[in-house]
Amino acid sequence: SRARSRGAAGAALLPSMLMFGVILASSGLLLMIERGILAQVGPPPLHPPAGLSRRDGLDSTAELELEVLRDTRNRTIRALCGQRSMPRSVWELPPGQRRTVLQHLLVSDKYRFLYCYVPKVACSNWKRVLKVLDGALESVDVKGKMDHKSDLVFLGDMEPEEISYRLKHYYKFIFVRNPIERLLSAYRNKFGEIKEYQQKYGVEIVRRYRKNGGNSAGDDVSFSEFLQYLLDEDVERMNEHWMPIYNLCQPCAVRYDFIGSYEQLRADANHVLEHIQSPSSIRFPERQAWYKPVTAETLHYYLCNTPRRLIKELLPKYILDFSLFAYPLPNITSEFCRQ
């Protein structure tokens, strides 16, 4: 039994560590990791921590892989954020960056937690949960368009003393997603479905990057044009739907207690709901019927029909999201695209 356990641990650990090394090498953080993390990496726990009873459909191997991934993220963040040049609190951030993160931290005083919402990472459903927890919404299944402002409390609207108290004493969590999938999701949603974004951003993008594009209504922006726009845009001036997660939530200035992922959304959401001791009747909402997920086939199509130069040049703007949250860099090799 012990031998089988050690074998399972090694099998789960090895691919994750290899992926981890590839990510860090590509982002230029390898030397820091060699000195600060790899010497400390030990085997992950053979049993998940207490308090994961709401998890559905995860076997012991999946649990183990999840723990390795979480441990990898935590160690990477600690190493990067331990550097002298990195901010230790929100008060060390420049005013613009501080304003951004404080306006993305939602507050529940009743359940004493802070949630940094990231657009295109199930944030609408998390906002539904917050509204139900605070009694502003009857059920997470209530139909209708989500109001992203009303009945929500933003940390940035509080006084400095109130902000500091909550940052110190409240449970803090964030949910992350593969950066390139998040960008593709934002592109398909905003330029394929939302007229406001087509008019505000789409018209300008086409005018800027397409010859004779002055007659466009902004609803025909190509993915390549969108990426070129991101490449030319100042990160701190980006729209929140495609601003890097690092800039939105500042994981060095805010020490999050839990980092969940879109890829393990239900299991991680259940973990958070259990930790904050929410009523058992409150569950994380099902995906909306109209939502069009980014599948592996969809990602393959867009990546392989986009100039590789664009993708390679854009990666540095999102490299902290790839590195800190342990996501593999996009595969744009000829072999992958021939499949």
b (16+ CB within 10 A) / e for 58-89: beeeebbbbbbbbbbbebbbebbbeeeeebee
Q: Which of 110-114, 266-270, 294-298 is modeled with the greatest confidence? A: 110-114
Quick one: pLDDT at residue 50?
40
CA triplet 238, 240, 244: central angle to 5 degrees?
A: 75
Give the model's pLDDT for residue 140.
Answer: 83
Q: What letter would DSSP give residue 149?
A: S
pLDDT at 289: 64
pLDDT at position 222 is 96
Which amino acid, 238? M
Question: What share of the chain in percent tops pLDDT 70?
Answer: 80
pLDDT at residue number 65: 81
pLDDT band at 28 (very low <50, low <70, confident <90, very high): very low
Q: What is the pLDDT of residue 25?
A: 40
Q: Which two tokens stand for residue 253?
A: 């200035």
Each residue of 121-166: pLDDT tens digit? 999 999 999 999 998 888 888 776 667 788 899 999 999 999 999 9
**pLDDT interval class at 242 (50, 70, 90):** very high
Q: Is the pLDDT of residue 57 over 70?
A: no
CA angle 279, 284, 289 (to 5 degrees): 145
Write down the residue that tokens 């800039």 correspond to.
247
Overall average pLDDT of the 32-49 stretch: 35
E-only strand ranges, the chain: 105-108, 113-116, 171-176, 258-261
The predicted pLDDT at position 36 comes to: 35
Residue 104 structure tokens: 């993305």
String of b and e for 182-206 (b: at least 16 CB within 10 Å)? bbbbbbbbbbeeeeebbeebbbebb
Decide which of 230 and 44 is more confident. 230
Binned at pLDDT 50, 70 and 90, residue 38 comes out as very low
Question: pLDDT tens digits for 82-92?
Answer: 888 899 999 99
pTM: 0.81
Answer for the pair 56, 90: CB distance below 8 angstroms, yes or no.
no
Assess contact for 143 and 290: CB atoms under 8 A: no
Give the pLDDT confidence score for residue 56 in this predicted structure. Answer: 53
